[in-house]
Amino acid sequence: MKTLIRSARVVDTASSFDGQIVDILVDNGLISQIGINLDVSDRVREIEADNLHVSPGWVDLRVSAQDPGYEHKEELTSVCLAAAAGGFTDIAVLPNTQPVVDAKGTLGYVRRMAEGQPVSVHVIAAVTKKGEGEDFTEMLDLHHAGAVAFSDGTHPLQNPDLLLKTLQYLQPINGLLMNRPEEALLTRFGQMHEGVQSTLLGLKGIPALAEELIVERDLRLLEYVIGAEGMGHGASGGEVILPSALHFSTISSARSVELIRQAKKQGMPVSCDVAAHQLVFDDSALASFDTNLKVSPPFRSPDDVAALWAGLADDTIDAIVSDHMPQDAESKNLEFDQAEFGMIGLETVFAAAITYNRELPLAQLIQKLTRNPRQILRLPAALIAEGKPACLTLFDPAGTWLYERTRSKSKNSPFLGQTLTGRVIGTVHHGQFNSAL
């Protein structure tokens, strides 16, 4: 059946229709017509909503699917349903499953299980066997088997020689290394950001220094690998230089933002993202001892949060991610220092960024969910143009809604029960309309 999207404002700086209110006809998975008051005589499904906006499909760079191995927390089916409800057409899943995605067999399992889902699932393969940070995986084989990037996911790469050799190994295939920056020896037994609040609450702190040291180290190693001839011409205003060879996942501190800003100005092929919840909460929120607020990296100081918003505004930070980390009730209904880290976030990324927005223009915010993450993962561009595949997200940036249920198997979100601004209407992907309502 054909799908007709009525009177939607296009948010896509790459489209000639950007900013215009148009009708979009989707036929057999392709955008067949774009115009005003389209007269369609055939049988169609019409999608209408107040203040309807449309953009290219959103992409999440960091999702923990937990399948295989931890299906009691999440399955590929449930994570895909949650992603579609959050407006995503594409998600990149971490390798931290059981078994770890460190061989073609496990990667093939994830790709097969993702067939027929409402979102496209892109697999990030492990850098080291079992994600233990010791022996390399067969990265070239994994690349040819469909891995979009390489990372040990929730396990930051600690060994500098290993990281250096990975960057060198991936250069010939234009591969991407993703690392969550953390010096593990400085964060052992830590529960929250190290500062006044951790002292007042009597919890062991996690210093921002643990992140910043690794950001600085990895940038120095990247500079060593690419050499002077590999440096670009720099970026005006912090504009992303792509394709990046090194991507920092979920940065959280002001110093990290500044280090990456300076690296981009020097022309280094580096990119980074921030988790949506890091833009909402600071460490004072943990006074409630709500274990749903226990995340890694931890919520930092108000100054750090302000720096993250500034990094988004000047394009130092390229993408906003969910850092979706499902945890079952047995892992969260504990004393704070015993609870696991992580929260679910696929359904609330856009709403969190809109509800707590610090004057970031809508078009720029959407770019952090669309064009930038696609470029980082080397995915084909999703364009709103006639004849192009229909990969679309429909939303109302001013709409309010009550987050009262989740499609995820886990419920570890501090946003449940809250009224948020920024409502997802649904997605059009693989020729299907997936309603989020």
User: Tell me, what's the pLDDT at 231?
Assistant: 66
> Would you say residue 399 has pLDDT above 60?
yes
What's the confidence (pLDDT) of residue 300? 98
Tens digits of residue pLDDT in 256-285: 999 999 999 999 999 999 999 999 999 999
Quote the pLDDT of residue 237: 42
Residue of 406, 188, 178, 395 lying closest to 271 (CA atoms): 178
What does the CA dihedral 253, 255, 259, 265 come to, rounded to 10 degrees?
100
- CA-based end-to-end distance of the chain: 20
Distance CA 279, CA 384 (A): 29
State residue 43's pLDDT score: 82
User: Is the CB of residue 59 less than 8 Å from the CB of residue 379?
Assistant: yes
Q: Express each pLDDT in 7-63 by its tens digit.
A: 999 999 999 999 999 999 999 999 999 999 998 877 889 999 999 999 999 999 999
Specify the pLDDT at position 228. 54
- Give the mean pLDDT of 359-383: 97
Of 33-47, 136-150, 342-356, the least confident: 33-47
Place 437 in a pLDDT band, splitting at 50, 70 and 90.
Answer: confident
Catalytic residue among 67, 90, 283, 323: 323
pTM of the model: 0.95
Retrieve residue 100's tokens.
């770890």
Q: Which of 173, 125, 134, 176 is nearest to 153 (CA)?
A: 125
Nearest residue to 27 (alpha-carbon basis) of 39, 14, 45, 49:
45
Is position 323 annotated as part of the catalytic site?
A: yes
Whole-angstrom distance, CA of residue 72 vs CA of residue 411: 12
Mean pLDDT of 177-189: 97
Does 227 have pLDDT greater than 60?
Answer: yes
Region 157-165: what's the mean pLDDT?
97
CATH topology of domain 57-376: TIM Barrel (3.20.20)
Q: Which of the four pLDDT bands, split at 50, 70 and 90, describes residue 180?
A: very high
pLDDT value of position 239: 47
Mean per-residue pLDDT of the chain: 95
Distance CA 295, CA 414 (A): 11
In this prediction, residue 240 carries a pLDDT of 44
Q: Is the pLDDT of residue 170 over 80?
A: yes
Residues 6+ apart with CB under 8 A from 65: 74, 75, 76, 79, 91, 93, 94, 97, 110, 121
Query: What pLDDT is stored for residue 241 in this prediction?
Result: 47
Domain residue ranges of the chain, discontinuous segments joined by +: 2-52+388-435, 57-376
Neighbours of 357 (CB within 10 A): 17
Geometric angle at alpha carbon 212, from 257 and 234, rounded to 5°: 40
Position 236 scores a pLDDT of 43
Q: What is the C-alpha separation between 87 and 110, in angstroms, rounded?
A: 21
Give the per-residue pLDDT at 229. Answer: 56
CATH fold of 2-52+388-435, please? Urease, subunit C; domain 1 (2.30.40)
How many other β-carbons are positioned within 10 Å of the β-carbon of residue 249?
25
Per-residue model confidence as pLDDT tens digits over 232-247: 545 444 444 457 999 9
Strands 419-429 and 432-435: antiparallel
